[in-house]
Chain A
Amino acid sequence: MIRLADVSFAYPGGAFRLAIPRLEIEDGARVAVKGPSGTGKTTLLNLIAGLATPDAGRITMGDTEISALPDAARRAFRAAEIGFVFQDFALMDYLSARENILYPFRIAAGLALTPDVRARADALATACGLGDKLTRHPAALSRGEQQRVALARALVTEPRLILADEATGNLDPVNKTAILDLMFARAEAAGATLLAVTHDHELLPRFDRVIDFAALQETAA
């Protein structure tokens, strides 16, 4: 269970202020966050991921209070427990698809690149339809394929939580559906919670729950 209680956050020197009195997300749920631009949806993901620290309140995931962890522990927690999928894919242009999937193991503390991990990465890639494209660099992949690589990268650490920030925003309708299907299937297979920010209203019915971020903020006000 992810819990946010009396969380408030403001960027230094900025007028924007995020206030969430209470938010709970059940384990294994597929939750969409909708709302107008600039209301703090990405900031919410950053707070849960420990990339930003709230000014007040508590953020917990299971028994771990993320907002109270020291910097190094937060990074290790993020690497081990959270998988990120970005709108712009954020792949390394100089690495092959396989090495992009393994990238977290190259940079993160506490993750060891073992033969088992490599085998898992290859299996994930195959499940994502990339089995014959593992040696290709991002420039040689289509946009849909690039997002599949990004999804495999988010899943390879076997996270408990997948955060998707407009993960289908740059894709055509066919790829959009395919990626979402894949994301749901892999999250379910891994037993992971999926929290996705999206502007796409067509996709909302597919989620277990939709959080209207504007309404959440109004409640706080």
Chain B
Amino acid sequence: MNALFLAAAYLRHHWVRSAILVFVTALLLAVPLAAQTLLRGAESRLTARAEATPLLIGARGSALDLVMTGLYFSEDRVIPITQADADAVWDSGLALPIPLHTGFSTNGARIVGTSLDYLEFRGLTLAQGRPFAVLGEAIAGATLADRLGLSPGGTLVSSPENLFDLDGTYPLQMDVTGVLSPTGTPDDEALFTDVKTAWVIAGIGHGHDDVVGADGQTPASITQFTRITPANIDSFHFHGDPGAYPLTAVIAVPHDQRAATILRGRYLEADAATQAVVPEDVVQSLVAQVFRIKSLLDAVMVLTGAAALAALGLALFLAWRLRAPEMLTALRLGARRGMIARLVLAETALVLVAALVLAAPIAVILQSQGESIVTWLLATAPS
């Protein structure tokens, strides 16, 4: 107890030095813990979403880009496939196709053109409002709604894709009809709308004034609508072959394992323009790569930690050397054998306990908020 009393008195009196020591020790404890927790969280998050997606059909090319775009709505640009590819899945009778068009964005969030099947497939529920029902309506992910203060009745405008293309498409103002409950997935950061609305943003569909006026003549100018309203919705129409309309990817939900195997077999031809990937395999391969790098990082962290501990030990050793006169006084006054060692141990123990107390909230925050942090990290990771 005497050693603890003296150690506490010393640390309290030299509180700045002690605080630095405690802070550095807490960092040494917390940083590896934080890195491990976040990496584990990221791995499970990536894997969980991939595991829940049986098949993803997209253009032949990088399977990783396809998965990152189709599942995590990354900003990667993949070669589009067509609605005909989604129809082919439907026509096969083997799986339910869920179209995905992720080519546009609004306020830093992806606009995901899809069908209402996507909400059911991902188990997404509405916290407010109703699902999108007609052209121009959209529902916002929880984080996006929170960030932009969106609620049913609000509006969002798609980001212009090409500012200097006078012949390009106009931004479309969309009506927010609902807000999704939070899921801790990339869905929280996205805006969902019907795939046809995405095609309107792409300029494939549009609405405008009648080309024949009341006088039977063609007006000098025709206004193209940038917002879909009950008054103008009937004027919206699409041009070209619907089968050729672009999609980023199609999630295929096979009816059973056999159907999944047959469906995958249909995309195995080397000269086919499309491919069917199992996202879980792609993500596992990515995670394996990441963890190979992580092993290296672990080794670096161990070395850095050892160097930091050595520096800390040296600092403590030098501090004790500076206190040699104090130790000599203690010995002259009859200090018992081991008292000095007990003093060193007591001070070290107190610093460690204080560092643990400081590091504990970090651990608690990581435990409770780890998923949100991982989601944010994944959502904001540069592609």
Contacts and interface: CB of A to CB of B under 8 A. Distances in A.
Contacts of A113: 2
Interface string A101-114: 00111111101010
B337 A71 contact: yes
Nearest to B2: A106
A26 to B, nearest CB: 24
Contact of B334 (A76, A88, A93, A137): A76
A78 B331 CA distance: 10
Contacts of A75: 331, 334-337
Contact of B335 (A86, A108, A153): A108
Interface residues of B, number: 20
A153 B330 CA distance: 12
Given A106-B2, A107-B2, A94 B337 contact: no
B6 interface: yes
A94 B334 contact: no
Interface residues on A, range: 20 to 34
Nearest to A92: B326
A94 B14 contact: yes
B13 A94 contact: yes
Nearest to A50: B334
B333 A104 contact: yes
Which secondary structure dominates chain B's binding surface? helix
B332 interface: yes
B325 interface: yes
Contacts of B134: none
A87 to B, nearest CB: 12
Given A90-B325, A94-B14, A108 B334 contact: yes
Given A90-B325, A94-B14, A99 B337 contact: no
A51 B12 contact: no
B268 interface: no
A84 interface: yes
Given A94-B10, A108-B336, 8 more contacts: A75-B334, A75-B337, A78-B332, A82-B334, A92-B329, A107-B330, A107-B333, A107-B335
30 contacts: A51-B331, A71-B337, A72-B337, A75-B331, A78-B333, A79-B333, A79-B334, A80-B334, A84-B332, A84-B333, A86-B332, A88-B325, A90-B326, A90-B329, A92-B326, A94-B10, A94-B12, A94-B13, A103-B333, A104-B334, A106-B2, A106-B6, A107-B6, A107-B330, A107-B333, A108-B333, A109-B336, A111-B334, A137-B13, A153-B333
